Amino acid sequence: MHFERAIISDLVIITPKRFGDDRGHFMETFREDLFQEQIGSIRFVQDNQSFSALPGTVRGLHFQLEPRAQGKLVRCSAGALLDVAVDIRVGSPTYGKHVAVELSAENGKQLWVPTGFAHGFCTLIPNTEISYKVTDYYSAENDRGLQWDDPELEIAWPVKPEDACLSLKDRQQPKLSELGEVFSW
């Protein structure tokens, strides 16, 4: 596995090694020993999977408040998506900045998103599936979001706002300037 620090160094892009032949390929998508060596002692408690039929489906930008904040190890198990993590840690030198990485079943890349970041994605092709491990259980009480197309974030989404397929919840999230102090650096 190759671990690469993103522009925001707390975010890590992980590329597993693929071993292939005429039958297909094999790869280790997670190794606790290597993860701990490169990122730290993280305990995952739940695996999640989401399927989106349409390209241009946007899910996010989501996060959970303390004491139920979640770190996420995200990968695309089918199709392709643009994965985005926004730093929402007040006081951070990269507050309001983001990292966007194309994750696909073909490239095998994964993104480690620690607590203190809002996370979301946009599907690039039909029938895209995202799988991710989280460090805490889902908590409706602590579930929050950030407006996905807030101009202040300057995210180059691959879909126009009027063409995006969004949930009602994701259409009603606050802008960064309205968020308040949800995490501190």
- For residue 25, what pLDDT is reported? 80
Where the chain has pLDDT below 70, the residues are none
| Residue of 25, 119, 132, 137 with catalytic role | 132
Domain limits of the chain?
A: 2-179
| Residue of 2, 25, 62, 137 with catalytic role | 62
- For residue 24, what pLDDT is reported? 85
- For residue 182, what pLDDT is reported? 95
The DSSP 8-state label assigned to residue 168 in this structure reads H
The rounded distance, in Å, linking the Cα atoms of 42 and 134 is: 10
Neighbours of 181 (CB within 10 A): 9
The residue with tokens 């899910």 is 59
3-state per-residue secondary structure call for 22-53: CCEEEECCCCHHHHHHHCCCCCCCEEEEEEEC
- For residue 120, what pLDDT is reported? 98
Classify domain 2-179 by CATH number: 2.60.120.10
Active-site residue flag, 137: no
In the numeric block, which tokens belong to residue 28?
A: 């280790």
Active-site residue flag, 62: yes
